[in-house]
Amino acid sequence: MQSNSSQLKEFVSRRSFLGAAAAAISSGTIMATPFAAAQSKSEISKGEQNHSSSNPGPVNRPIAGQNPSSEAPPVTDRGDVGPFWYSFDLSHRRIQDGGWTRQVTEKDLPISRDLAGVNMRLTAGGYRELHWHTANEWAFMIHGNARVTVLNPDGTIFIDDVSEGDLWYFPAGFPHSIQGLGPDGCEFLLVFDEGGFSEYQTFLISDWLARTPPEVISKNFGLPEATLKSLPDDELYIFQGQLPGSLEDDRKAVGGKAVESKISYTFRMKAMKPTLETASGDVRIVDSTVFGASRAIASALVRIKPGGMRELHWHPNASEWQYWISGSGRMTVFASSGKARTMNFNSNDVGFVPAVAGHYIENIGTSDLVFLEMFRSSTYSDVSLNQWIRRVPPQMAREHLRLETSDIEKIPSKNNAVIPATR
């Protein structure tokens, strides 16, 4: 993993925008002028109140409407902080009979070298065929129901059904499959612990057999070559199949308890009791301490009510890869050395925060804001600015913040995660 300091330095210096938004900005359809170091907040604010911020040229209004904090940033934003936003809706969808898939990797969001994401849909009966890959796979069920299988190297098999809000985790190199169930198949998010991972370069059983001489397959399977003529001559990847029987029947059909995996590779995230809960929202944290199979990816499901805020904090052990499920939010990332940038997020967007970079997230909509935080780590860890202030001696806090002791004592002493934006 890249060091925190070098990753943060690259994050600050990167200038290119992404996907369709990149083309819009580079062509001048959306351009926020960098602030000179000598500009004060008052000078910037004055510019916003007069003709200085006008833009008589062409504007890509759909993109500008999605990114108002880039068009008219807060006066506290400053410096050349690269974009930390992308959207699955900018990604190419590969559609096949049985479902579709699209991905956001390091190619789309260059600062994200730790994690990559895939959004996939399977119809009822549709398969993501038997396969394996180089990266660990973490998944969150967005919609519907699916049946998953994964084979352990010791020959035991895990088979389970998952629904909305459930997770699964498949270790790198472990062969597995996913099939959509009734009534409407499924849609899910996959997260891999390689920023450059491509969903289109996995090891597929159909592809392997199509690239293996028939006589070799015949020897391996112990079947006549004539029997093998119906094998696929190319990769299947996603394809339509028939709905399976009951989960119990599938488990019995493969050998029952004698071949059942001792490790559970699924977890009911949405159904769990919140790890942290306040009047303004809640957080469900799932890492290896509660989901033993998930050894390389930690996660949190965050819900912020209207007017609430994910408090000022940072993560000391890993960068943060986000998937925004519902609602509208605004995030500011502090990149040190007087640099900060604010961007807006909506459903199906991806966000990124470098390790140790301070940030906060506000719900700026009228409905609950729900998003996922993912980390390439076995454990979840964050540092609360509020708690830090309250844990240092009062004189130290007073002399740093220039606040009265009575005011400092009103700052929450707990890591509440989600707090009211106004008091």
The domain ranges of the chain are 10-81, 97-267, 271-420
Q: What is the mean pLDDT of the chain?
A: 91
What mean pLDDT is predicted for residues 41-70? 82
pLDDT tens-digit series, residues 229-240: 999 999 999 999
Per-residue confidence (pLDDT) for residue 44, from 0 to 100: 65
Between 9 and 23, name the one with better pLDDT. 9
Long-range Cβ contacts of 149-153 (<8 Å, 24+ apart): 149/176, 149/177, 150/174, 150/175, 150/176, 150/261, 150/265, 151/175, 151/176, 152/261, 152/263
From first CA to last CA, the distance across the chain in angstroms is: 40
Name every residue whose Cβ is closer than 8 Å to that of residue 141 and which is 6 or more positions away in sequence.
Answer: 162, 163, 164, 165, 166, 167, 186, 187, 188
DSSP string, 244-308: P--HHHHHHHTTGGGGB-SS--EEETTTSPPSEEETTEEEEEESTTTSTT--S-EEEEEEE-TTE
pTM of the model: 0.89
Return the CA Rg of the chain.
Answer: 24
Whether 194 is catalytic? no
| CA–CA separation, 318 and 1 (whole Å) | 9
Query: Is there a common fold for 97-267 and 271-420?
Result: yes
DSSP string, 90-125: GSPPEEETTEEEEEE-TTTSTT--S-EEEEEEE-TT
Asked whether residue 15 carries a pLDDT value surpassing 50, the answer given is no
| CA–CA separation, 423 and 416 (whole Å) | 15
pLDDT band per the 50, 70, 90 thresholds, residue 54: confident
pLDDT tens-digit series, residues 348-407: 999 999 999 999 999 999 999 999 999 999 999 999 999 999 999 999 999 999 999 999
Q: Of 187, 159, 186, 195, which Cα lies nearest the Cα of 175?
A: 159
H helices of 2-144, in order, are 4-13, 19-26, 41-49, 61-66, 68-71
359 is in an annotated binding site: yes
What's the length of the chain? Answer: 423
Does 171 sit behind a cis peptide bond, omega within 30 degrees of 0 on the bond before it? no
Count of other CB atoms within 10 angstroms of residue 402: 7
Per-residue confidence (pLDDT) for residue 63, from 0 to 100: 87
176 is in an annotated binding site: yes
Beta strands in 328-389 (DSSP E): 329-334, 340-345, 349-353, 358-363, 369-375, 383-384
| CA–CA separation, 422 and 405 (whole Å) | 21
Express as a percent the part of the chain with pLDDT over 90. 83
Report the top-level CATH class of 97-267: mainly beta
Per-residue confidence (pLDDT) for residue 51, from 0 to 100: 79
What mean pLDDT is predicted for residues 247-262? 98
Q: Of 176, 175, 195, 192, which Cα lies nearest the Cα of 135?
A: 192
The third-level CATH classification (topology) of the domain covering 271-420 is Jelly Rolls (2.60.120)
Count of other CB atoms within 10 angstroms of residue 334: 19
Asked whether residue 33 carries a pLDDT value surpassing 70, the answer given is no
What mean pLDDT is predicted for residues 276-294? 97
313 is in an annotated binding site: yes
14-51 per-residue burial string, b: 16 or more CB within 10 A, e: under 16: eeebbbebeebbeeebbeeeebeeeeeeeebeeeeeee
92 is in an annotated binding site: no
Per-residue confidence (pLDDT) for residue 30, from 0 to 100: 34
Name every residue whose Cβ is closer than 8 Å to that of residue 222 and which is 6 or more positions away in sequence.
Answer: none
> Of the listed 71, 248, 373, 399, which one is catalytic?
373
Asked whether residue 27 carries a pLDDT value surpassing 90, the answer given is no
pLDDT band per the 50, 70, 90 thresholds, residue 4: low
Per-residue confidence (pLDDT) for residue 189, from 0 to 100: 98
133 is in an annotated binding site: yes
131 is in an annotated binding site: yes
Asked whether residue 20 carries a pLDDT value surpassing 80, the answer given is no
What mean pLDDT is predicted for residues 108-135? 97
What mean pLDDT is predicted for residues 169-175? 98
| CA–CA separation, 238 and 127 (whole Å) | 5
Per-residue confidence (pLDDT) for residue 67, from 0 to 100: 87
| CA–CA separation, 125 and 123 (whole Å) | 6
Asked whether residue 9 carries a pLDDT value surpassing 70, the answer given is no
